[in-house]
Amino acid sequence: MRSHCIALGSWCTAMALALPLHAADKSSLPDEITAIGGQGAGQAGAGAALISDQGAIHINPAMLYRHKNYDLNGTYVWPVNGRPFYRAAAIDGVTSKWTAAFEYTGFSDALDKRETRTEIDSPVRRRGSLAFAIPSDFLSIGFAGHYVEAEDPTVLDEAKTIKGFTLGTGLAAQLSSGISVGASVENLNNEKLKNVSPRTIRAGVAWQDKTGSLAFHADYRDRQRSAYLEDLPLTSEGMLLALDPAVEPATLKNEKMAIIGGQFQTFDVLRVFFAAGRNVSGDKSEVTSGGLGIFQKNFSLAYMVSRIYPDAKDLQNSLHLSITMKM
């Protein structure tokens, strides 16, 4: 009976998060730029010592070492604003001792059908990522390379395409049978792409029971912010106000956020996700997420909701649907 009540309460919470909310007076960063595929969406994009599925490609590639199967992953996201997008991934933990992963990000609509200078939308056209993890007895090292092609948000008076590669790396260690730690950095090398691929530093600790049915994590995340895509004034209709091309926006301080969360499995196959975080310095910024998933031996299906609100007037939520098949 208690398990039924917990599951019902979690489902009600997830549905409440999905309710529409009132409009904001400032823009927030388009969801696609920081969205995580797989179970990471239910952990508010955190879990540097916990997430080992598709989301690990960005959160911490070193965590891919936990894969001992060949997995096909897909995540479809309905963002708060802008075009829906998807992330498709394959993870190979069988062919060699190294675990390799590939991910592609695409959109349901072409960018040229949108007006990113007036609508809150990601300027990205496509992304591709390749990551791998090298495990040892108690330590794993991970590396990731990301390709991005986007419309340059810093060029306001004409359309200009930017494209390039960013590099990331991560470490993960199993301190005991249940406790692990992890840390990672995204975009070590390419400052030109910081508006669409911000440098993000993550560190976390996680505890997981022997069966994998219960886990908790605590994370710290430091992310570059984009003065060209977030904290921009909006009209009463929720459209972006035009910026003066001759005036360079002020530099925004990094978002420094502490996030805690967890997951538990009940009824053998039903898994519940939850997480919440808050900015530890600077302007108020908070995030909450939650979700439900059906997890079986060779198949999983998860529905997750995330909400980000930089200030009290900017309540937002996005929906994520993730599918995994083990081969």
- Residue 62 and residue 68: Cα distance in Å, rounded? 14
First to last CA, the chain: 35
Q: Tens digit of pLDDT for each residue in 274-307? A: 999 999 987 777 889 999 999 998 999 999 998 8
Fold (CATH) for 2-326: Porin (2.40.160)
Residue 115 banded pLDDT, cuts 50, 70, 90 = low
Neighbours of 169 (CB within 10 A): 17
- Residue 124 and residue 209: Cα distance in Å, rounded? 39
Q: According to the model, what pLDDT value does residue 59 have? A: 98
For the chain, give the mean pLDDT: 86
CB 258 within 8 A of CB 285: no
The β-bridge relationship of strands 70-78 and 318-326 is antiparallel
Residue 189 banded pLDDT, cuts 50, 70, 90 = very high
Smallest CA-to-CA distance from 82 within 58, 55, 118, 54 is with 118
Residue 15 banded pLDDT, cuts 50, 70, 90 = very low
Annotated domain spans of the chain: 2-326
Q: Is the pLDDT of residue 31 over 60?
A: yes
- Residue 18 and residue 27: Cα distance in Å, rounded? 19
Residue 116 banded pLDDT, cuts 50, 70, 90 = low
> Which residue did the predictor score with more confidence, 101 or 237?
101
Residue 242 banded pLDDT, cuts 50, 70, 90 = low
Smallest CA-to-CA distance from 50 within 36, 37, 64 is with 64
Q: According to the model, what pLDDT value does residue 20 have? A: 42
Q: According to the model, what pLDDT value does residue 4 have? A: 45
Q: According to the model, what pLDDT value does residue 197 have? A: 97
Neighbours of 225 (CB within 10 A): 20
Q: Tens digit of pLDDT for each residue in 47-79? A: 999 999 999 999 999 999 998 899 999 999 998
- Lowest average pLDDT, out of 45-59, 121-135, 148-162, goes to 148-162
Q: According to the model, what pLDDT value does residue 49 have? A: 98
Q: According to the model, what pLDDT value does residue 113 have? A: 56
CB 260 within 8 A of CB 218: yes
- Residue 179 and residue 2: Cα distance in Å, rounded? 27
Q: According to the model, what pLDDT value does residue 114 have? A: 56
Any bridge partners for residue 263, and if so which? 215, 273
- Global pTM reads 0.88
Q: Is the pLDDT of residue 316 over 90?
A: no
> Which residue did the predictor score with more confidence, 318 or 19?
318
- Lowest average pLDDT, out of 23-32, 55-64, 252-261, goes to 23-32
Q: Is the pLDDT of residue 259 over 50?
A: yes
> Which residue did the predictor score with more confidence, 203 or 2?
203
Smallest CA-to-CA distance from 31 within 17, 21, 45 is with 45
